[in-house]
Chains A and B, each alone.
Chain A
Amino acid sequence: MKEQTPLSERIITRSIQVAGYSSIVFVLLILSFLIREGAPAFFEVPLKELTAIRWYPIENYFGILPLILGSLIVTIGAALIAIPAGVGTAIFISEVAPQWLKEILKPLVEVLAGFPSVMLGFLGILIVSPSLRKLLELPTGLTALTGALLLAGIAIPTIVSISEDAMNTVPRSYREAGWAVGATRWQTIWGVTLPAARSGVLMAIILGVGRSIGETMTVMMVTGNAPVLPLKWNSLFSPVRTMTATIASEMGEVATGSTHYHVLFLIGIILFLISLAVNITASAIVLRHPKRAERILS
């Protein structure tokens, strides 16, 4: 007898299929568009000039190195601030804070995670940058450090929220085992709880830092946007320009199809590859095939 599937079932299956495939198609379309618009840059600008240190597109200097390094210095600075602060806060919320405080702090952090970044940039221009200028006696407060500080502000809520979840799933019995061998609360957190939540905390860090690499609005507002190669010891305290800020500020006034236009897309491709690498690392950690021992334990 022929199997009968009701019409409604078939319609539902089809539409879900279409939705699923279309998201793949869209991603591929975006990718192919990026490559189509960015690849010509390789033919129009010699590789030697692309990797030069001068970005001045009006006079045909297309050295993207300062932009890549600008992004890196701001992101690494942000990571150096956000990782200890974020993991520390997560430890506080999960292990130290009393229940009532925990119930206030956790939702608060989650609200912060959804804070529009342009508002953070606004705060940066109005408060962080002038105070940094006064504090460190700099000629301008719009520096790599300002960007790093604010990006850390964007990464911290993500790091806190996800690593707190990870530490919460560590069974109570682990902590009791730590206490039962005479470890203090802090020794137990450091030696038992944190290692047990390792993969979740790592994931939180990668997602948090990943978010700050792609962040545009805040860094454009507060880093000063000077495409200078940040290699001197004091580059942290001088203006830089990131890849994202470059695309956002120049794309609006560039002639479609010009060399400058193609190079901007090339920067987009580089950014895309960095994000891709971060995301692949993150999912490799999360989807890592659990070891035999871990499967038995869980």
Chain B
Amino acid sequence: MNIIEVEHFSLSYSDGTEGLRDITMGIPANQITVMLGPAGGGKSTLMRAINRLNDLADVISMNGRITVDGLDVNDPKTNLVELRRKVGMVFARPVPLPLSIRQNITYGLEVAGVTDKTILAEVVEKTLRDAVLWDEVYDRLNDPGVALSGGQQQRLCIARTLALDPKVILLDEPTSGLDPISTAKIEDSLQMLKQRYTIVLAPHSVQQASRTADFAAFFLQGELIETADGKDLFTRPKDKRTQDYVEGRFG
């Protein structure tokens, strides 16, 4: 079953560059959907269109429809705050909020009106365990979030996203700045998390894509070239351009 439907979605930026051209795809629930392709292909743009972070970029025109769980995201009546709670996002560069480790996780809940200390404490422990970070930070939850290492910061950002109990988690090259061990930890936690959440991942390498993908989509210069289940995209690509990319001939 698809939780996100993208129908004939196009988007262009104000500097004249075309972000996305007529994209149609579904994103299946409780799977890891991998969006791969060279830089500038439109992966980030599509992700940011799903939780409407593009609102603040220089977008001049948008056409088509994106629905998340039946909700039209571009409907003017859509409550952005609710949409973003439903669709969490983790960025390429870890961005801890300028708060303590604990507050980084509780911030989203607190602005949503949750004040019960026991609930907050439970969420902090549970999400940090889910993000495979608990064992490293449980004794210093009041330290500033920025005091963690890069890999820990990124797992903190994942935990922060989980705290809101979203339906979908968008990860935009979450491991691009990380060492192999941190990367492996994050990939492990994604495998575990997909049972409860839908995961959309822009991987930072083809290897990572083929390791993690349940469903894969290949983007090139704002166009969706092809989608395929599981590992098919990597082993039996239908399009010549996809084949060239996954075999490392460009990109």
Residues in chain A within 8 A of chain B (CB atoms): 171-184, 187, 191-192, 195-196, 198, 291-294, 296-297
Contact = CB atoms under 8 A, between A and B. Distances in A.
A291 B146 CA distance: 10
Interface string B122-155: 0000000000000000000000101110100000
Contact of A176 (B53, B96, B164): B53
Contact of A192 (B85, B88, B97): B97
Given A292-B147, A294-B146, A184 B98 contact: no
A184 B79 CA distance: 11
Nearest to A171: B95
Interface of B: 51, 53, 56, 80-82, 84-85, 88-89, 91, 93, 95-99, 107-108, 111-112, 144, 146-148, 150, 157, 160-161, 163-164
Given A180-B89, A183-B107, 5 more contacts: A172-B56, A177-B157, A182-B82, A293-B146, A293-B148
21 contacts: A173-B93, A174-B97, A174-B98, A176-B95, A177-B91, A177-B157, A180-B91, A181-B108, A181-B111, A182-B81, A182-B82, A182-B85, A182-B111, A182-B112, A183-B81, A191-B107, A292-B147, A293-B148, A296-B146, A296-B150, A297-B146
Nearest to A180: B89
Contacts of B111: 181-184, 187, 191
A291 B143 CA distance: 13
- Specify the main secondary structure of chain A where it touches its partner: helix
A174 B95 contact: yes
Most B Cβ at <10 Å: residue of A173, A184, A196, A293: A293
Contacts of A171: 95
Given A182-B84, A184-B111, A191-B111, A176 B97 contact: no
Contacts of A294: 146
B97 to A, nearest CB: 5
Contacts of A175: 56
Contact of B97 (A172, A178, A293): A178
Contacts of A172: 56
B53 A191 contact: no
Most buried by B among A175, A192, A297: A297
Given A181-B107, A292-B147, A192 B98 contact: yes
Most buried by B among A182, A293, A296, A297: A182
B97 A180 contact: no
B52 to A, nearest CB: 9
A97 to B, nearest CB: 14
Contacts of A173: 91, 93, 95
A177 B99 contact: no
A294 B160 CA distance: 20
Given A177-B97, A195-B98, A293 B144 contact: yes
Contacts of A292: 147
Given A296-B150, A297-B146, A181 B98 contact: no
B91 A176 contact: yes
- Of the listed residues A171, A177, A179, the one surrounded by the most CB atoms of chain B closer than 10 A to its CB is A177
A293 B145 CA distance: 9
A178 B53 CA distance: 11
Nearest to B95: A177
Given A177-B91, A195-B98, A293 B84 contact: no
Nearest to A184: B81
Given A176-B91, A177-B97, A182 B164 contact: yes
A184 B85 CA distance: 11
B90 to A, nearest CB: 8
Contacts of B84: 179-182
Most central of A178, A179, A196, A198 by chain B CB within 10 Å = A179
**Closest 10 pairs between A and B when the two form their complex, measured CB to CB:** A181-B108, A293-B146, A182-B85, A177-B95, A180-B89, A293-B147, A195-B98, A183-B111, A196-B98, A187-B111
A180 B98 contact: no
B81 A191 contact: no
Contacts of A191: 97, 99, 107, 111
A181 B95 contact: no
A180 B47 CA distance: 12
A47 to B, nearest CB: 47
A180 B86 CA distance: 10
B147 A180 contact: no
Nearest to B88: A180
A180 B51 contact: yes
Nearest to A175: B56
Contact of A183 (B95, B108, B146, B148): B108
Contacts of A187: 111
Contacts of B160: 181
Contacts of B161: 180-181
